[in-house]
Amino acid sequence: MLVNELGKHDPSLEIIKGQDLNITRPADINSVEDNTLLFVGSKKFIESSLKAASEKKIAFVIDKKLYESLEEKIDDKVEALVLSSNVNISMSFLTKAFHEEMGQEENMAVDGRQMGTCDVHPTAWVAQGAFLGDKVQLGENVKIHSGAVLMGDISVGSNTQIFPNVTVYSNTKIGSNCRIHAGTVIGGDGFGYNFKDGEHLKVWHFGGVRIGNDVEIGANSCVDQGTFSPTIVGDGVKLDSQVMIAHNSKLGKGVIFCGQSGTAGSAVVGDYCVFGGKAGIAPGIELGPGSEVAGLGQVTSNFPAKSKIAGHPGRPIREWLRGIAWLRKQSNQ
């Protein structure tokens, strides 16, 4: 899509330069490449965004008030520049347009094996009633059970087993020796909306999911794809049944989530952290390696390595226990 075509999808945009740059998809700092579109809505992202623009031919959609407030104009530092009165709303309009354009290339009506576009290892086992989309790759000894649906552009590493009625969306990479149990959904859109004129406008997702080796995911769990860069599940992660991993989250090695626990968007969980049942972590929060979160605990601020956390809002467990003891004492007076 050419930059000068963006206005058809969001008439409020004002194109400053780069009308003829061809844009392939939206991006963020972690996924920026040549001919991608970067949304810049706040001052704290200017420096990193300009660094990306110095290395790649990208288009900026930048908040108009932010642009006008900059002491040094950035027109000559980017390949294409577009002003928006509301970057979040523009993101909803433009991601929808790109999603519709890119979705036209995906064929979900005919199994990729019939089209000859799958790469299935001779030792892989695929049950009747499983669907493999365009460009699905299955490694040695992979097992795909009946009712599983693997959409386009998916790779599955050797000795991985995908159980009945699992759905894997496009742009997902699954490592070796994994087990993904029945009813799980990998790569569905993250929960992102922008409110305008009484309507929740969807932010469409493109980032995909990357799952490491030796991962086990319990039944009826969800791992949402990232907005513009992947959601990451590290090697050796174990997710219980009914666990929710939100878009753009990053789970380190050996992380454990017990039943009905999960993350909010863009959470970062260090290596070998453990979450008890129904525990969670808030958007964009970082939890240091080796930390433990008690059941029902909610991590709402950053914590260092080897923290032990309980309660809501999450506090060091000794502090939380003292608070509970004080309340019990007061209630008995």
**In this predicted model, what pLDDT tens digit does every residue of 115-160 receive, in sequence order?**
999 999 999 999 999 999 999 999 999 999 999 999 989 999 999 9
219 close to 197: Cβ distance less than 8 angstroms: no
Q: How would you list the strands of the sheet with 286-287, edge to edge?
A: 119-120, 136-138, 154-156, 172-174, 209-211, 231-233, 250-251, 268-269, 286-287
Whether the predicted model's global pTM rises above the 0.75 cut:
yes
Domains located in the chain, CATH noted? 3-103 (3.40.1390.10), 166-322 (2.160.10.10)
pLDDT the model gives residue 104: 61
**In this predicted model, what pLDDT tens digit does every residue of 243-299 receive, in sequence order?**
999 999 999 999 999 999 999 999 999 999 999 999 999 999 999 999 999 999 999
184 close to 166: Cβ distance less than 8 angstroms: yes
pLDDT the model gives residue 272: 98
* Cis peptide, bond prior to residue 313, ω within 30 of zero: yes
- Three-state secondary structure string covering 249-269: CEECCCCEECCCCEECCCCEE
Question: Which of the residues are catalytic?
Answer: 247
Helix (H, G, I), strand (E, B) or coil at 181: coil
The mean pLDDT value of the chain amounts to 95
In this structure, are strands 14-17 and 80-84 parallel, antiparallel, or unpaired? antiparallel
Q: Is the pLDDT of residue 106 over 80?
A: no
pLDDT the model gives residue 297: 98
* CA–CA dist 54, 101 (Å, integer): 28
Give kind and range of the element (H or E) at residue 322: helix 317-331
Mean pLDDT of 217-236: 98
pLDDT the model gives residue 333: 66
Best CA proximity match to 62, nearest among 89, 44, 38: 38
Name the residue with higher pLDDT: 239 or 71. Answer: 239
- C-beta neighbour count of 225 within 10 angstroms: 25
